Chain A
Amino acid sequence: MASITLRDLTKRFDALVAVDRLNLEIQEGELITLLGPSGCGKTTTLRMIGGFESPNEGDIFFGERAVTWLQPELRNIGIVFQNYALFPHMTVRENVAFGLEMRREVGARVRQRVAAILSKVQLVGMESRYPHQLSGGQQQRVALARALVVNPAVLLLDEPLANLDAKLREEMRFYIRHLQREFGITTIYVTHDQAEAMVLADRIALMKDGRLQQLGSAEDIYRRPSNAWVAEFIGLSNLIRGTVAGRRDGALSVRTAAGVFSCAGEDAAGEVVICVRPESLRFGQEHPNRLRGVVRERVFLGNLLDYQIEGPDGLRLRVQADPSRVFAPGTSVDVSFSPADAWVMRAEAR
C-alpha cells in the first residue's frame, strides 16, 4: 500500500496538451476516481501512473518513492483495462498466476494464493476455462483477481465496467467498492460515468482538457461546484449569469437579469454564475429569492415532476418538485430558492 502523489504532471502529444500541470495527492487506501469527458486526459494520466507513458514534466511518487521514470514492471501495480486484456491463450488459473510467476514464485504457494483470490472473486470451478469461455462479468472478475493476487501497491482501473450491461455494471460498482475496502488498496479509477464515480469514490477528481477542475467528495462537487462547467457536468443545474453587487449579512448579493439574489459562495467579484439545482427550486414564495415564470413543459418522472419554467428575460429554469401539487403548462407560477441553495462560482472553466 502506498499513497500516490502527482506533482505538476504534464503530457504533450505534439501540439496537444493532454495533461496540464496536474497536482493530486491520494491517501493510502483511498479510492479516487478520475472523472471527465473523453479526451480530458484521464486515461493518459492513468497510463503515466502505470508507466506506459512518460510525462514531459512533473513527477509521480508512490509513498516517498519517485517512480516517474520507472519501468511498469518495477512499479508493483495492478491494472484492469476496459477490455480486461486477459491473456486469451491462458486459462483462468494461468492468467491469475502470471504475476506470481513473474515474481519467481513457484509451487504450492502459487496454487494457494491463486485459489484464495479466485474464491474471493467467486470463480471457483472456472480455473481451467479460457477467457473466451467466460461471460463479460466473469472476465472482469478474472482481471480483478489477476491484478490483486500480487498484492500491488496501487490498483489502477481504466473504465473497467464500460463493457458490461447496465444491471451488472450497477452490481459491480458495489462489488469493486467492497473489494477495494477489504484489500485497503490505494486505487485510481478512471471513468466518464458520474453515477459510477459518485458510488465508488472517496473523492472525485474532475478533469477537463487536461486540467483538474475540482477535487472533492461527490457531495462537495454537487453542492459547491467550482465553476459552471463542473455544475453542468455533475447533475442537473440551473445556471443564472450575473454580477456581484456586494456582500450583506455574510451572503453575496448578485444582480441578474431576473432580479437581485442573495447567494452563498466564497468571495467572488465581477462576472459570476449562480448554480441552483432543480430540486432546490420551490413553487410559492417560501424563500427570500423569488421570481415569476410560466410553466412551459411538464414531465412525469414517477417520484417527481420535471418542469421547464420560462422566467423573466427568457431565463429557462428546470424545477423538480414532488407530485402533490400539479401546475399545468401555461400557468403563471412563483418560484423561490434559499440563499443556501444558490451557489456562486466563476463563470469560466480552468
Chain B
Amino acid sequence: MNRGRRFPWVVFLIIPIIVFLAIFFLIPYANMVYMSFLVKPETGAYLKVFTLGNYARALGDTFYWKVLRQTFWYSLVTTAVTLVAGYPLAYHIARAPKRWRGLFLIMLISPLLVSIIVRSFGWMILLGKVGIINTLVKRYGGPELPLMYNAFGVVVGLVHIYLPFMALSIAGALQTISPDIERAARSLGATPWRAFWRITWRLSLPGVFAGTLLVFVLAVSSYVIPILLGGNNVLVMPIVIVQMLLDAFNWPLGSALSMVLFGGTVALLWLYVKLMNQALRWTTR
C-alpha cells in the first residue's frame, strides 16, 4: 500500500522535453503571435503599438485567399494521391511474409535518408524542359510536356516525399487486423472485394486517418518542394510568408499570414476529426 502513496518520480523524465519545447517552440510561437499585432513602420522592423491592421490586410486581400485556397487544394490532391498509391503498398507490406517485411520497410523508408533538396533536383533532371522525359518524348516526335514549374511538378514532388508517411501509417493499422477476420468474411459468402470494403477497409481507417492527417499537415507547410519544382508559378502560403518576412521585411504581416494559415489548417482538421470520430465510433464504445 506504501507504493501507491510514493511520489511518482518518473514524471520528472518528461521535464527535459517540456523545457525544450518551451524554449524552441512555445516562446518563438508566442513571440510570433505578439508580432502579428504590432505596427510595421516605414523604416525599421516593428513598433510596439497594438493594431489589427495586419489581419485586416491578410484577410481582406483576395490575393491571400487565393493563395490559401491553392495551398489547401494542392495539399488535398497530394493527400489523395498518396492515399491511393500508398494503400496498396501498405497492404502488401502488411501481408508480406515476416522475413520480407523488414526489407520492404527499409525500401520504403530509404528515400527519407536523402535530403529533400537533393531529391527535388532529381525530379528537376527528370521533369525539366530539357529533362530526361521531355528529351525522350521529343525524340519520338512528341510535344514538349509542361511537367515542371507548375502545379503538376509540385504535386509529384510532394507525393514522392510524403508517400512513406502515408504507407507506414496504413501498414501499421493493417498489421493489427488478423487475416482470419478476412477469412471469416469470405467463409460467410463475401467476395474478396466485398470482404475488403466491408471489413478490412473499415478496420484500417484509423491508419488512413493518421496518414491523411500527417500528409496534409506536412504538405500545407512545405516550402522547399513548391519553391524548387513550382518555380515562381506556384504560390503557396509558406512561400508568400517567407517572401513577406525576408524580402518585404514585414515581420508583422508575415506573422499574421502565418496565423491565418495556422487558423485555416486547424479549422479544416477540426472538421476532418469530427468526420473521423463519426466513422470510428466503434473503437470508443
A: residues with CB less than 8 A from B are 50-52, 71-73, 75-79, 81-83, 85-90, 98-99, 102-103, 130, 133, 146-147, 150, 156
Measured between C-beta atoms, what is the minimum distance from B284 to chain A in Å? 10
- Return the chain B residue nearest A128 by Cβ: B285
Measured between C-beta atoms, what is the minimum distance from A131 to chain B in Å? 9
In the complex, whether B142 has a CB less than 8 A from a CB of chain A is no
- Return the chain B residue nearest A150 by Cβ: B188
Contact at B187–A72, with CB atoms within 8 Å? Answer: yes
Contact at A102–B194, with CB atoms within 8 Å? Answer: yes
Residues of A within 8 A of B203 (CB): 88-89
Closest 10 CB pairs of A and B: A102-B189, A99-B188, A85-B180, A72-B186, A89-B282, A85-B184, A81-B180, A79-B187, A85-B181, A73-B189
B: interface residue count bin: 20 to 34
Contact at A85–B183, with CB atoms within 8 Å? Answer: yes
The one of B180, B186, B188 in contact with A71, judged by C-beta atoms closer than 8 angstroms, is: B186
Q: Which of B184, B190, B194 has the most CB of A within 10 A?
A: B184
Contact at A81–B183, with CB atoms within 8 Å? Answer: yes
The one of A79, A82, A98, A130 in contact with B282, judged by C-beta atoms closer than 8 angstroms, is: A130
Contact at A85–B178, with CB atoms within 8 Å? Answer: yes
**Interface contacts beyond A86-B181, A102-B188, A130-B282: sample of 15 additional A-B pairs, CB < 8 Å, sorted by A:** A50-B183, A73-B189, A73-B190, A75-B187, A76-B189, A78-B187, A79-B184, A81-B180, A82-B180, A85-B184, A87-B184, A146-B188, A147-B188, A150-B188, A156-B187
**A72–B184 Cα gap in the complex (Å)?**
9
The one of A50, A82, A87, A89 in contact with B187, judged by C-beta atoms closer than 8 angstroms, is: A50
In the complex, whether B202 has a CB less than 8 A from a CB of chain A is yes
Contact at B188–A98, with CB atoms within 8 Å? Answer: yes
Measured between C-beta atoms, what is the minimum distance from A77 to chain B in Å? 5
Residues of A within 8 A of B184 (CB): 79, 81, 85-87, 146
Residues of B within 8 A of A150 (CB): 188-189
Complex interface residues of chain B between 198 and 243 (CB less than 8 A to chain A): 198-199, 202-203
**A150–B283 Cα gap in the complex (Å)?**
27
**A78–B178 Cα gap in the complex (Å)?**
18
Q: List 12 A-B contacts (CB under 8 A).
A: A50-B183, A72-B183, A73-B187, A73-B189, A77-B187, A78-B187, A79-B183, A79-B184, A85-B180, A98-B198, A99-B189, A102-B190
The one of A52, A78, A86, A88 in contact with B183, judged by C-beta atoms closer than 8 angstroms, is: A52
In the complex, whether B277 has a CB less than 8 A from a CB of chain A is no
Residues of B within 8 A of A79 (CB): 183-184, 187
**A98–B202 Cα gap in the complex (Å)?**
15
In the complex, whether B51 has a CB less than 8 A from a CB of chain A is no
**A85–B183 Cα gap in the complex (Å)?**
9
Residues of A within 8 A of B181 (CB): 85-87
Residues of B within 8 A of A130 (CB): 282, 285
The one of A73, A86, A90, A147 in contact with B186, judged by C-beta atoms closer than 8 angstroms, is: A73
**A76–B189 Cα gap in the complex (Å)?**
7
Residues of A within 8 A of B190 (CB): 73, 98, 102
Measured between C-beta atoms, what is the minimum distance from A47 to chain B in Å? 8
- Return the chain A residue nearest B183 by Cβ: A52
**A89–B184 Cα gap in the complex (Å)?**
14
Contact at B285–A98, with CB atoms within 8 Å? Answer: no
* 0/1 interface trace, chain B 5-37, chain A, CB 8 Å (1 if under): 000000000000000000000000000000000
Contact at B189–A103, with CB atoms within 8 Å? Answer: yes
Measured between C-beta atoms, what is the minimum distance from B271 to chain A in Å? 22
Residues of B within 8 A of A50 (CB): 183, 187
- Return the chain A residue nearest B284 by Cβ: A130
Measured between C-beta atoms, what is the minimum distance from B244 to chain A in Å? 47
Complex interface residues of chain B between 96 and 117 (CB less than 8 A to chain A): none
- Return the chain A residue nearest B189 by Cβ: A102
In the complex, whether B77 has a CB less than 8 A from a CB of chain A is no
Complex interface residues of chain B between 167 and 196 (CB less than 8 A to chain A): 178, 180-181, 183-191, 194
Contact at B186–A51, with CB atoms within 8 Å? Answer: yes
Measured between C-beta atoms, what is the minimum distance from A326 to chain B in Å? 49
Residues of B within 8 A of A71 (CB): 186, 191
Residues of B within 8 A of A75 (CB): 187
Residues of A within 8 A of B199 (CB): 87
Residues of A within 8 A of B183 (CB): 50, 52, 72, 79, 81, 85
